[in-house]
Amino acid sequence: MKHHRTRRTILLCSFLLLLACQIPNAPGLSFLVPTSTITATQTPTATPSPTLTAAASPTITPTPTPSVTPTLTFRPSARRVIIISIDGLRPDAIVPAPMPNLVTLMQSGAVAVGAQTVFPSITLTAHSSMLGGVCPSKHGVYWNEYEPERGYAQGTDLLDLAHAAGLQTIMYVGTEKMRHITEPSSLDRFIHIEDTDSVLMGSLIANFLQDFGVLFIHLLATDIAGHEAGWMSPHQISVIREADAALGMLLDELDARNLRDETLIIVTSDHGGAGSAHGSDAREDMTIPWIAVGPGIQPKALTTPVNTMDTAATAAFALGLPIPFDWDGVPVYEAFGLSVERQSVQCQ
């Protein structure tokens, strides 16, 4: 066990070193890199150095369906998936906060500290891609407020797939605009709690349903603090600590119910931010953390580029659900220890 803990510590240090290289002048990480830093690019491709060109009027570049090297011994083994989105969390905030619960997950999970969101890097657009598995030009959600007359994101999303398969689907969110992500017919429960992250998590735990298939949790406070006091400000850092405490509440509940071994947990974000805003194609806005822990997941720093669209595909793969042909996201097969020939995915 001591050997494994040492190896995981080394892995985590490697994650943080990679993160420091990707976001220059990252608070709490500057001691890890020299003055000249690596320039991170933005769109996942088949190479370790992805690129993205943001367009004012996004269009979609059709991409081939990714193929997997056959692995006959692998079978999806998750009974449920929990996706936790900490709205506005930049990965370089994890260390200075600090976030001990998230760091513990990182030590035992598959981690991409330089994952990318979609452009425009705003909450509703990004979450529609996160759970819908497609570029914004396919789901059509470019607004960022609750406007019921606009309807719902287009296409088949993760919640549609899970509900059609007879799995319970639940959303606990910090803003009502998240209703636009999927049709009410694909949800068994939609709970909107506009309060602190701990209050939202406390409500979820008090009303916990053990037989769900997909649970999406949206923690909003980090984004609010960023707009109020600035990204990476002392106030936002303190709120990020509270988000980590809420994550710890959930993990304790899963442990108490003996559900961890059968649950895939993905912790990520919709976007980052700089100053008091976000939405651009700047790396501070586009770079997000992506951590997966659970059955079949191998602890490692991922070398495969990860995009927020891959979240839906990874969850569907873990649950054994069919992945729509037109999805732009693909499962992060590397997280499961599978060899992959991954085709490039580019949203323009």
pLDDT tens digit sequence for 109-162: 999 999 999 999 999 999 999 999 999 999 999 999 999 999 999 999 999 999
Question: Taking the CA of residue 268 as centre, how many other CA atoms within 13 Å lie in the half-sphere pointing to its CB?
Answer: 36
Provide the pLDDT for residue 73: 54
Provide the pLDDT for residue 341: 64
Mean pLDDT of the chain: 84
Provide the pLDDT for residue 340: 76
Question: What are the extents of the domains in the chain?
Answer: 2-341
Provide the pLDDT for residue 317: 96
The dotted CATH code for 2-341 is: 3.40.720.10
Provide the pLDDT for residue 10: 43
Burial environment of residue 270 by CB neighbours within 10 A (0 to 12, 13 to 18, 19 or more): buried
| pLDDT at residue 71 tops 90 | no
Provide the pLDDT for residue 343: 58
The radius of gyration of the chain's CA atoms, rounded to the nearest angstrom, is 18
Could you tell me which residues come within 8 angstroms of residue 178 by beta carbon, excluding any fewer than 6 positions away? 124, 127, 171, 192, 218
pLDDT band with cut points at 50, 70 and 90 for residue 235: very high
Residue that wins the pLDDT comparison between 212 and 344: 212
Provide the pLDDT for residue 28: 38
Residue that wins the pLDDT comparison between 87 and 345: 87
Could you tell me which residues come within 8 angstroms of residue 256 by beta carbon, excluding any fewer than 6 positions away? none
Hey, what's the torsion of the CAs at 71, 76, 77, 81, to 10 degrees? 140
Q: Residue 86: enclosing H or E segment and its boundaries?
A: strand 80-86
Express each pLDDT in 10-28 by its tens digit: 445 444 544 444 443 343 3
Q: How many Cβ atoms from other residues are within 10 Å of residue 1's Cβ?
A: 5
Provide the pLDDT for residue 208: 94
Let me know: does 153 contact 313? Beta carbons within 8 Å: no
Residue that wins the pLDDT comparison between 38 and 2: 2
**In sequence order, what are the beta bridge partners of 347?**
60
Q: Residue 111: enclosing H or E segment and its boundaries?
A: strand 110-116
Percentage of the chain surpassing pLDDT 70? 78
**In sequence order, what are the beta bridge partners of 307?**
116
Quote the DSSP letter at residue 142. Answer: -
